[in-house]
Amino acid sequence: MSKYPLLLDTKPVSYMIGDGALGMSGKSLQKYPRIIMLVDENVEKHCLPVFKEYLPNVEIDHVISIKSGEKSKNLEQSIHIWNELTRLQVDRDALFINLGGGVVTDIGGFAASTYKRGIPFINFPTTLLGMADAAIGGKTGIDYGAYKNQVGLFVDPVSVIIDPIFLNTLNDLQWQSGFAEVMKYGLIMDRDLWSMLIGKDYHHLDDWNKIIAKAARDKIDIVHHDALEKGMRKNLNFGHTIGHAIESYYLMHDMPITHGQAIAAGMICETWISSKKFNIECTQIDEVVDMIDLNFEKFGISEDTIPELLDLMRQDKKVREGQLKFSLIRKIGKATHDIEVEMDMVIDSIKYYINRNAAH
Ligand SMILES: NC(=O)c1ccc[n+]([C@@H]2O[C@H](COP(=O)([O-])OP(=O)(O)OC[C@H]3O[C@@H](n4cnc5c(N)ncnc54)[C@H](O)[C@@H]3O)[C@@H](O)[C@H]2O)c1
């Protein structure tokens, strides 16, 4: 008998993870009198037909489609969704399905949980990043002004259905982006997962069912213990303090990069900081850096960019009273959070990233 899909009923959210999850989810959808679905244009083209093929008896009352990409995660698109729900006279007994990557699950979760004080929603992630991260954990929201995820709510979906079948049409860059977050779980909490990945380029990994299930379970475990990010959930920020600054830097200079590319670079810098703070063995540092180099091209940033990166970091939500607090690793598979790091050390970590020779 197949081990998949895994069924996890961690109240208040139930999860179905792995091959076959999509087909098996039909029963739980049948109890809703009406179903409204949110997709983006690519998901509508590639994933909606798969959804319909595997769930021919599930009747979708209406599909709302938004343009793909981060630029759609905004108030204007939220208003569009609320307008559609109002026009369709959707009541609170209806179900809202988010079929898509992190953009769709973030804005869809936000729009559904604010419409009429909240209608139930289910996430069907279709990107690796969504399956391993964004669809899990109840963070919903939109970007506002210049700030990412500035407005939003913590609201749990009724369930999250993770079926790797959707990944068949995902492009290479998006696979790579999600892979950074998968590696992160190995580094912060899951030595076993790290052992499955180590030394391999993501193109040559084949047991994705198991990898996704492990990464998703790691996230579920963390959010189950710390839904509101008061403690251990902060460990998920490993690589993200410097990574977000790099992501914003490239965005501001009209050279957008993926979230994963930025986080991969951030994880190199923050592994270096971890090594200084916690005396990690050199072999472990090399293992992490080599693994990231194997999967991500090094950015050609120069030392002149450092002041701008520092300014961006100071605007980060993780900065409290001007003090940068980092989530770092004590060793591979064990993270810690709220570690104060001096500016000079942050600067040196970026210099380390810039000046080391990446083997490609
Ligand atoms: N809520 C959270 O906890 C959380 C965590 C991490 C990231 N996020 C958010 O997630 C977003 C990024 O998510 P993402 O990387 O999934 O981006 P995304 O939703 O923009 O999807 C990436 C691209 O892939 C396309 N796509 C999606 N599924 C596809 C498929 N199966 N086949 C072909 N194309 C497909 C999309 O149309 C899009 O162009 C960001 O907004 C980020 O802030 C949220």
Contact between 219 and 131 (Cβ < 8 Å) = no
Give the pLDDT band (50/70/90) at residue 321.
low
Q: What is the mean pLDDT of residues 7-36?
A: 95
Residue 307, preceding peptide bond in cis (omega within 30° of 0) = no
Q: For the whole prediction, is pTM greater than 0.85?
A: yes
Task: Please work out whether the CB of residue 166 comes within 6 Å of at least one atom of ligand 1.
Answer: yes
Which residue do the tokens 């492990």 mark? 214
HSE on the CB side for 313, CA within 13 Å? 24
Closest CA to 155 of 126, 125, 119, 128: 119
Token representation of residue 300: 């050609």
pLDDT in tens, 197-218: 999 999 999 999 999 999 999 9
Same fold, 6-167 and 173-355: no
Task: Please work out whether the CB of residue 169 comes within 6 Å of at least one atom of ligand 1.
Answer: yes
Task: Please work out whether the CB of residue 108 comes within 6 Å of at least one atom of ligand 1.
Answer: no
Q: For helices 240-252 and 306-314, what crossing angle results, to 10°?
A: 110
C-alpha span between 271 and 349 (Å, rounded)? 9
Contact between 141 and 153 (Cβ < 8 Å) = yes
Fold of 6-167: Rossmann fold (3.40.50)
Domain parsing of the chain, residue ranges:
6-167, 173-355
Give pLDDT, residue 360: 55
Helix (H) or strand (E) holding 299, with range, is none
Which residue do the tokens 């090094």 mark? 298
Residue nearest to atom 12 of ligand 1 (CA): 102
- For residues 311-338, one letter each, b for 16 or more C-beta atoms within 10 angstroms of the residue's C-beta and e for the rest, the string is ebbeebebeeeeebbbbbbeebbebbbe
On average, the pLDDT of the chain sits at 95
Give the pLDDT band (50/70/90) at residue 148.
confident
Mutate to test the pocket of ligand 1, among 38, 39, 41, 42 (most ligand atoms within 8 A of CB): 42
Please determine, for residue 58, whether its predicted confidence score (pLDDT) is greater than 60: yes
Please determine, for residue 196, whether its predicted confidence score (pLDDT) is greater than 80: yes
* Euclidean distance between the first and the last CA atom of the chain, given in angstroms as a whole number: 42
pLDDT in tens, 253-298: 988 899 999 999 999 999 999 999 999 999 999 999 999 999 999 9
C-alpha span between 278 and 233 (Å, rounded)? 20
Give the pLDDT band (50/70/90) at residue 7.
very high
Residue nearest to atom 2 of ligand 1 (CA): 134
Comparing 257 with 321, the larger pLDDT belongs to: 257
Please determine, for residue 146, whether its predicted confidence score (pLDDT) is greater than 90: no
Token representation of residue 159: 């369930």
User: What percentage of the chain carries pLDDT values higher than 70?
Assistant: 97
C-alpha span between 143 and 98 (Å, rounded)? 18
Contact between 103 and 43 (Cβ < 8 Å) = no
CA angle 357, 359, 360 (to 5 degrees): 130
Contact between 193 and 186 (Cβ < 8 Å) = yes
Token representation of residue 96: 């809202």
Give the pLDDT band (50/70/90) at residue 13.
very high
Residue nearest to atom 22 of ligand 1 (CA): 101
Token representation of residue 281: 């063995």
Comparing 300 with 315, the larger pLDDT belongs to: 300
The CA-atom distances, in angstroms, between 131 and each of 115, 128, 161, 182, 264 are: 25, 5, 9, 10, 18
Residue 183 Cα to ligand 1 midpoint, Å, equals 17
SS3 340: strand
Task: Please work out whether the CB of residue 123 comes within 6 Å of at least one atom of ligand 1.
Answer: no
pLDDT in tens, 61-91: 999 999 999 999 999 999 999 999 999 999 9
pLDDT in tens, 84-100: 999 999 999 999 999 99
Contact between 121 and 107 (Cβ < 8 Å) = no
In CATH terms, the superfamily for domain 173-355 is Dehydroquinate synthase-like - alpha domain (1.20.1090.10)
Contact between 95 and 31 (Cβ < 8 Å) = no
Closest CA to 64 of 89, 38, 27, 83: 38
pLDDT in tens, 207-254: 999 999 999 999 999 999 999 999 999 999 999 999 999 999 998 898
